[in-house]
Amino acid sequence: MKLSSVRTKILLLCMTAMFISACQTGSDEIIEDSTTIDGVEQAQLGGSEASAEGITDLTALEDGSDSSAIAFDDEALVKAESPQAMLDKADSNIANRVIYFEYDSAKISDDSLSMIEAHGNFIASNGNVSARLEGNTDERGTREHNIALGDRRAQSVRRLLMFQGASADQLETISYGEERPAVTGHTEDAWAKNRRVEIVYEVN
């Protein structure tokens, strides 16, 4: 009877020892797993922080780029000249506004093509600008003939300006014939300066 009681106690002690050992092992595993999880989380957090820093840097770069672009655009707008300012410049490519013609001709010379092109581009780029094309002739010929000739010259210039992009609404033609000479006199030099079309601008 006593022997059975002793065996029972020994068996209980063994089971208790095994249980305690199992608990310690499980605890160690849990601690190790927790460390692993913490390590992963710490690594992820570190990566997130690094990513956040990268995003911050990228945002700063983008903001800086945008700011530079805005500053550049603003500067360009400030520097952009108004149509009237461009018309007032004595050294601009639209400062010369007189096209000369040969005797009894409405044909535009090759020397005048680049000038008319510059005027056409200017008018096309500024919708608030209009131009009056004034046709003139020298004193030779009848009044009726010279009025018609002045009109043909103005129309020749108008067609080229429209070819460069100017709209019909921006252009007006008028012929003065021989009535408004630029130079008085009865010489070839005077006549050459009177055979002309003048571009007269208006900024609306």
Q: Measured between alpha carbons, how far is 133 from 101 in angstroms, rounded to an integer?
A: 14
Domain total for the chain?
2
Count other C-beta atoms under 10 Å from residue 203's C-beta: 13
Helical pair 110-125 and 143-163, crossing angle rounded to 10 deg: 60
Q: What is the pLDDT of residue 14?
A: 56
Residue stretches of the chain with pLDDT short of 50: 1-3, 23, 25-63, 65-79
**CB of 194 closer than 8 Å to CB of 180:** no
pLDDT tens-place string over residues 117-129: 999 999 999 999 9
Which residue segment(s) compose the domain that 12 sits in? 1-80
Q: Are strands 98-100 and 196-203 parallel, antiparallel or unpaired?
A: antiparallel
Q: Are residues 89 and 56 in the same domain?
A: no
Q: What is the pLDDT of residue 81?
A: 84
* Domain boundary pick from 80, 101, 127: 80
**CB of 70 closer than 8 Å to CB of 170:** no
> Can you give the pTM of this predicted structure?
0.62
* Domain boundary pick from 60, 80, 100: 80
**CB of 174 closer than 8 Å to CB of 136:** no
Q: What is the pLDDT of residue 21?
A: 55
The tokens for 61 are: 């770069």
Give Cβ neighbours of residue 39 (< 8 Å, ≥ 6 apart).
none
Q: Are residues 172 and 88 in the same domain?
A: yes
